[in-house]
Amino acid sequence: MNSILIYLFQVSLVFGSFYLVYKWLFSRFTFHTFNRIILVSLVPLSLVLPLSNKLFPKITYFTFEIPLIKDFAAFSSFDYLFTEETIITQTESIHWSFWLLCIYGIGVLCYLVKFAFTTYRIVQLKRNAQKAIVNGTTVYMGDTTSIFSYFHWIFIPKSTKESCDALIITHEKAHIHQWHSVDVILVELFIAFCWFHPLAYLYRKSLKSIHEFQADAFVLQQKVKKSTYLELLLQSLEPTQTNPVYNYFSHPTLKKRIEMITKSQSKSKLKYLYLLLIPTVAFVFMAFRTTETTLEKIPVLTSTQTLENDLTAIPSISPIHKQNRQRFSAMFGVKRKHPKLKHAHKHGGIDIVAKVGAPVIATAQGVIAKAKNEGNWGNLVVITHADGFETWYAHLQGFAVEKHAVVKKGDTIGYVGNTGLSTGPHLHYEVHQDGKRLDPMKYITE
């Protein structure tokens, strides 16, 4: 569930950033076709770019083998190995994210119901309307207060059949020929998906304005005097209640339309500014791609048998040198009351008390499967070894290795710390085989 919330945040961030760039740089230009393409493209770009890693896997130009690949796959679902204390933290996380998703889902559902109701109303209006021919164009006269179009239907009030100007019909036909209703449906569905984003509603207004600019330009191309058309616009009344799904002639952006008609055409060389969007999109694409560790950083082993044929690949030494450790403060399998969580559970490993900063070493040759902070575990290192073995090193102060690094027995992988739910400087050490915890003391033979 948290991943869904993160994805929604990423979509919102990409969408908001691109839309603000459009408003700042391109919205004042008279290149309406270019601006329409940009605005419509914002929807798929915002939805796809955060999924760059999943939809566009990295291409490699060479092949190699990584040892214990089955163990890496198994580790990807390591949640079941967490101790009881970690599960408690995860439950709290699920609780708030669940309610956030419920609120989000209710918002999406409400918006979709509203959109479906609007669509139903226009179908009913068309069904009950009277079909007529005005200025050589088929229109539908119905119970509406304003002239508008929806896909290939043009609706006019019953009382305006005789007074409906041919230029208004031409304007609405421009909406139909340029498939503006398709854009509107796409935007409405996107707003349903991002109903919580305030810029989504300004985005819809910007796209509707572009539609009106294009329709106005289409009318003026029919050898119509600009003054005549401007006079018609000024005489039109804005509808008291507009619906964002329809295309109105007397649109609420009437003032902007008049300004755009009377404005000088943007210079053609300014079109080259649109090329700036290519590196911008590429930058955002790479920003999401860099969240995944690149394969070039993964150490290469020539054979998957390298670890399996080496006795040093089985845990066999203490994770802290004898001269650095002070004592064993907790042993494997002992049921005890956790000092912070105040409930009892069986200890899944051993605790070794040592000074903060004392080196922690790999107890066998292996590959680093995880080196990051894991909540209650604090800074955690997990190493995969031969024969399904894993060793876990928790509550570290810091790391001396990175994920995917190959380490030998005795290599320093981190330093004793007091992170996570630790109540004092120590190392929590576990040994697993095939997902089952084992007594680490049985594997300290040297």
Q: Is 201 helix (H, G, I), strand (E, B) or coil?
A: helix
The verdict on pTM exceeding 0.75 is no
C-beta of residue 147 within 8 angstroms of C-beta of residue 249: yes
pLDDT at residue 305, rounded to an integer:
42
Residues forming a β-bridge with 139: 132
- 191-195 contact pairs (CB < 8 A, 24+): 191/111, 192/108, 192/111, 192/112, 192/115, 193/11, 193/47, 193/108, 194/8, 194/11, 194/12, 194/15, 195/107, 195/108, 195/110, 195/111
pLDDT at residue 386, rounded to an integer:
87
C-beta of residue 110 within 8 angstroms of C-beta of residue 193: no
Complete DSSP assignment for 224-288: --HHHHHHHHHHSPPPSS--TTSEESS-TTHHHHHHHHHSPPPPGGGGGGGGGHHHHHHHHHHHH
C-beta of residue 330 within 8 angstroms of C-beta of residue 350: yes
Tell whether the model's pLDDT for residue 57 goes beyond 80: no
pLDDT at residue 314, rounded to an integer:
86
Q: Nearest CA to 363 among 387, 333, 393, 388? A: 393
Q: Chain centroid to CA 55: how far?
A: 12
Please give the DSSP secondary-structure letter assigned to residue 67.
T
C-alpha to C-alpha distance for 16 and 19, rounded to whole angstroms: 5
Read off the pLDDT band of 293 (50, 70, 90).
Answer: very low
Query: What mean pLDDT value characterizes the chain?
Result: 81
Q: What are φ and ψ of residue 416, in 5° steps? A: -55, 135
Mean pLDDT for the stretch of residues 198-218: 92
pLDDT tens by residue, 218-241: 988 888 888 888 887 777 655 545
C-beta of residue 390 within 8 angstroms of C-beta of residue 293: no
Tell whether the model's pLDDT for residue 274 goes beyond 80: yes
Q: Chain centroid to CA 383: how far?
A: 31
pLDDT at residue 60, rounded to an integer:
44
Extended beta strands in 10-166, E state: 130-134, 137-142, 148-150, 153-157
For the beta carbon of residue 388, count every other beta carbon within 10 angstroms.
15
Read off the pLDDT band of 317 (50, 70, 90).
Answer: very high
pLDDT tens by residue, 4-14: 888 899 999 99
pLDDT at residue 398, rounded to an integer:
92
C-alpha to C-alpha distance for 185 and 195, rounded to whole angstroms: 15
C-alpha to C-alpha distance for 337 and 138, rounded to whole angstroms: 81
Torsion sign over Cα 18, 24, 25, 29: positive
pLDDT at residue 256, rounded to an integer:
81
- Domains along the chain? 2-285 (no CATH), 305-443 (2.70.70.10)
> What are the structure tokens assigned to 145, written together?
């207060």
Q: Nearest CA to 36 among 45, 48, 27? A: 27
Name the CA radius of gyration of the chain, rounded: 33
> What are the structure tokens assigned to 180, written together?
């503006």
pLDDT tens by residue, 355-378: 999 999 999 999 999 999 998 899
C-alpha to C-alpha distance for 17 and 232, rounded to whole angstroms: 38
C-alpha to C-alpha distance for 351 and 19, rounded to whole angstroms: 54
